[in-house]
Amino acid sequence: MPSFKLLNSGAGGLDFAERIRALYDHFEQDEVLVTTSFGNNSAVLLHLVSQVQPTQKVHFINTGFHFPETLAYKERLTRLLNLNLAEISPSAQINDLSLRRRFWETRPNTCCYLNKVLPLERFKEHHKVWMSGLMGCQTTHRQALQIFEPPSISEKIIRFHPLIDMTEEQSRQFRCLHRLPPHPLEERGYGSVGCQPCTDCAPGRNGRWKDHAKTECGLHTAPCT
């Protein structure tokens, strides 16, 4: 496999679909972990994957705290794009503990870790590369990410962000061009949609973890409890 410097240099000159297509020159389908949140921009990556590698399994982390609209959107996109969808969930005990203790109010990092980060860990161990639809325009942390990120000290998986340099306008144009339906809450003013207890109606990501010094759930950063 080429160096990460060469990979990023080469991928930077490709369009978004070509990047995903090129990934499968280096990895088998079963080695690729694809995740989605079924959030506002999720349809872009899902459409591309469905066109480039239609049998690729796509994983949705069902925390148990999603908006009903998100779950309905999941069903709609799964049918529309004929996705090979699988769900990842926290244990019933952990989910119930989070609900009873209302961790999202007092310990949001713990809540995200128990219901998102931890359930995904066992899946990451069985794959070589993790593809997600992160966009650099979403947060300061994501602005610093490259298309390919090498494994960290604590994990062996390579992270692949084919849309990292896509702008919000490009995302809107892509969804319009391919007639992809918007998330139902986007039409009601939600700039970003996560779990229901931690998401308010606001532009951009301003409605995520309101009143907390938190901008990431922890999936795409070093886990923190």
Read off the pLDDT of residues 116-149 as tens digits, 9 standing for 90 and up.
999 999 889 899 999 999 998 887 788 889 999 9
Phi-psi region of 63 (alpha: psi -120 to 50; beta: other; left: phi over 0): alpha
Q: Which of 16-30, 129-143, 207-221 has the highest average model confidence (pLDDT)?
A: 16-30
State the residue for tokens 């995520």.
208
The whole model's pTM is what?
A: 0.91
pLDDT of residue 204: 87
Is the pLDDT reported for residue 225 higher than 50?
no
Active site residues: 217
> What is the rounded CA–CA span in Å between residue 203 and residue 99?
27
Residues 6+ apart with CB under 8 A from 67: 185, 193, 196, 199
**What is the band of 224 on the pLDDT scale with cuts at 50, 70, 90?**
very low
Residue 164 confidence (pLDDT): 95
* SS3 category, 169: helix
pLDDT at position 37, please? Answer: 94
Give Cβ neighbours of residue 201 (< 8 Å, ≥ 6 apart). Answer: 185, 188, 189, 190, 207
Query: Three-state DSSP class for 145?
Result: coil
Neighbouring C-alpha atoms within 13 Å toward the C-beta of 14: 18
- Residue 84 host element (H or E): strand 84-88
Q: Kindly state the average pLDDT of the residues 18-33.
A: 95
Q: How far is CA 118 from CA 20, 21, 42, 88, in A?
A: 26, 29, 22, 10
In this prediction, what percent of the chain has a pLDDT beyond 70? 97
Q: Quick check: 171 pLDDT over 70?
A: yes
The sign of the torsion formed by the CA atoms of 56, 57, 62, 66 equals positive
- What's the confidence (pLDDT) of residue 141? 81
Residue 2 has what pLDDT? 58
| pLDDT bracket for residue 214 (50, 70, 90) | confident
Cα 8 vs. chain centroid, distance in angstroms? 20
- Would you tell me which CATH number, out of the four given (3.30.1330.80, 2.40.170.20, 3.20.20.70, 3.40.50.620), belongs to the domain 4-92+127-189? 3.40.50.620
Is the model's pLDDT at 209 over the cut of 50? Answer: yes
* pLDDT of 104 above 50: yes
Q: How many CB atoms lie within 10 A of CB 9?
A: 12
